[in-house]
Structure 1
Amino acid sequence: MHKRLSTKLLKALALFITGFLIAVSIAACSSPESSSTKKLAVTSAIASASSLPGVPNPGATLAQIIATGKLKVAVPDDFPPFGSVNTTMQLQGYDVDIAQEIAQGLKVKLELVPVVGNYRIPFLQTNRVDMVISSLGKNKERAKIIDFSAPYAPFFSGVYGEQSIKVSSLDDLKGRTVGVAQGSLEDLELSKIPPGTFPIKRFASNSLTASALVSGQVELIATGNVVAAKLMRDNPEKRIDNKFVMKNSPCHIGVRRGDTDLLEQVNAIVFDLKESGKLNELSQKWFGEPLTLLPV
């Protein structure tokens, strides 16, 4: 009897507490202060989120680099001579050397993060790296989401294929199969052309795009001059040449929007490298030719 009574009392007490909490909740939601309370909660949540690891805090990157003593840079590992992996599995190339010069200029240690073209900007936006030095071309679409340094290397995009194929403009590509690295500057240019104008095959990297041309999967490729130069050196029997230039696009260092302090430091270092002749030295080392005139 006492046991049954205790059980009933406990149930009644639970119902009372539940009803009380609901009443308090309704009163709180209908309170005139609830709107301000909600705004405060949202503001606090945003502030907390901005301090979480992996969430970029625009404008604070330089301070973070100096505080940690480490600079994280995205560089290519499949795009010689800008970046590739050597026989000892170490990253090497023009962009790798530039990253080292930037780290030395900031007086911090360098952490290299290998990345393929399609992931360069996402790595920057998700705070996995502090900057991108990966043969990055500047265009209006990219300028909406990241900031660019002064140019540090010459680069142009063109269409390449065997000498027997006669094309000299985009109009001549009708009926031709063209290969391109997905997410590259050349891919963005080809994407402006109405779909169906000519077949486009997209590959995961520049090296796969080059291999597609050599193996006959595509008749032509749209790629950068340095990629094509290596392709022609490695496959002289294919007699590959440049058909026409699609876009002249020097390389820039990419930083997050709002990282003005970091961008100013990077531009100062690039200017010093140019004035000292170091950029020319690196151009001779990796491109086999003097540094051409870069736009200001």
Structure 2
Amino acid sequence: SDMTPRGYDIDMAQLIGKKLGVKVELVPVTAPNRIAYLQTNKADITISSLGKTAERAKVVDFSLAYAPFFDAVFGTKKVKATSFAELNGKTISVTRGSMQDQELEQLAPGAVVKRFEDNNSTLSAFLAGHVQMFATGTTVAAALQKMNPSLDMELKVILANAPCYVAMPKGESTLLAKINMIIREARADGTIDKFSQTWLGAPAGQLPD
């Protein structure tokens, strides 16, 4: 509301900065360049609803999970799709390079996937009627519904439970250990649950390492 970035990831970044005793500089990224910014030293760590995959783990190191996150396909109520098979032939927008992009490719190869460079474009394609459905995190969909209460939209198929992790360049073992300690303490003292309750409407619960 005051043009200052807010959210779960922002709160997590500020907590880590405070615990490390450093000033936080927020660097906006998109799904395709989140890893590249680490590799080219444009950012020291990435806190951007990033899921952990074997492919990504080859080039970056991951912290403990700091947030819950479910990937799903959403669409209008008139479109029938309650299984991966029923996604065949249907148009779905997704953000290029995201976890949802990879999951759709694996789980719904028969879907007609339209890829966009950022979340706003992915959502706009659905809102404009260019696609029947869109794939994103449930938190993003919840925010969209909150901003558009009359929007005809419902969850169709859950793609995955994909918690969020902090990523950093390979070899930063000291930094990784410090961030893991901060996350572990934030889990234990209720800070993580507080962030989750504020931004997702429910406690984070048991998060994987």
TM-score with structure 2 setting the length: 0.94
Residue 7 of structure 2: aligned partner = 93
Partners of 2:131 and 2:157 in 1: CA distance: 17
Partners of 2:74 and 2:134 in 1: CA distance: 5
Question: Which AA in structure 2 matches 1:231?
Answer: L
Question: Which AA in structure 2 matches 1:95?
Answer: D
1:180 aligns with 2:98: no
- Compared CA separation, residues 104 and 193, structure 1 to 2 (3 A): same
Number of residues paired by the alignment? 209
SS in 1 for 2:49: strand
SS in 2 for 1:223: strand
Residue 177 of structure 2: aligned partner = 264
Question: Deviations along 1:71-110, whole A, 9 cap, x unmatched?
Answer: xxxxxxxxxxxxxxxx433222111111111111111121
Q: RCO (CA 8 Å, sep 6+): is it higher in 1 or 2?
A: 2
- The one of 109, 115, 126 equivalent to 2:29 is 115
Query: How many Å apart are 1:194 and its aligned residue?
Result: 8.2
Residue 277 of structure 1: aligned partner = 190
Question: Which AA in structure 1 matches 2:130?
Answer: Q
SS in 2 for 1:110: coil
CA contact (8 A) 2:85 2:108 kept: no
Q: Which has the higher helix share?
A: 1
Query: How many Å apart are 1:258 and its aligned residue?
Result: 1.3
SS in 2 for 1:264: helix
Partners of 2:169 and 2:107 in 1: CA distance: 29
Cα RMSD of the aligned pairs, angstroms, is: 1.6
Partners of 1:106 and 1:209 in 2: CA distance: 35
1:215 aligns with 2:128: yes
Residue 137 of structure 1: aligned partner = 51
Residue 165 of structure 2: aligned partner = 252
Instruction: Choose 1 or 2 for highest CA Rg.
Output: 1
Query: How many Å apart are 1:193 and its aligned residue?
Result: 6.0
Residue 124 of structure 1: aligned partner = 38
SS in 2 for 1:285: helix
CA contact (8 A) 1:157 1:223 kept: yes
Query: How many Å apart are 1:290 and its aligned residue?
Result: 2.0
Residue 85 of structure 2: aligned partner = 171
Question: Deviations along 1:5-49, whole A, 9 cap, x unmatched?
Answer: xxxxxxxxxxxxxxxxxxxxxxxxxxxxxxxxxxxxxxxxxxxxx
Query: How many Å apart are 1:263 and its aligned residue?
Result: 0.6
CA contact (8 A) 1:133 1:253 kept: yes
Question: Deviations along 1:141-197, whole A, 9 cap, x unmatched?
Answer: 1111111000000001011101121112222111211100111111122233686x2
Partners of 2:126 and 2:108 in 1: CA distance: 23
CA contact (8 A) 1:232 1:241 kept: no
Question: Which AA in structure 2 matches 1:290?
Answer: P
Query: How many Å apart are 1:129 and its aligned residue?
Result: 0.9
CA contact (8 A) 1:161 1:221 kept: yes
Partners of 2:145 and 2:79 in 1: CA distance: 15
- Compared CA separation, residues 193 and 245, structure 1 to 2 (3 A): closer
Q: 5+ unaligned residues in a row in structure 2: which ranges? A: none
Which runs of structure 2 are paired with 1:60-75 in the superposition (5 Å)?
none
CA contact (8 A) 2:73 2:156 kept: yes
Query: How many Å apart are 1:285 and its aligned residue?
Result: 1.8
TM-score with structure 1 setting the length: 0.67
Partners of 1:96 and 1:248 in 2: CA distance: 21
How many percent identity over aligned positions? Answer: 43
SS in 2 for 1:112: coil
SS in 2 for 1:152: strand
Partners of 1:193 and 1:110 in 2: CA distance: 38
CA contact (8 A) 2:63 2:165 kept: yes
Query: How many Å apart are 1:212 and its aligned residue?
Result: 1.4
Q: 5+ unaligned residues in a row in structure 1: which ranges? A: 1-86
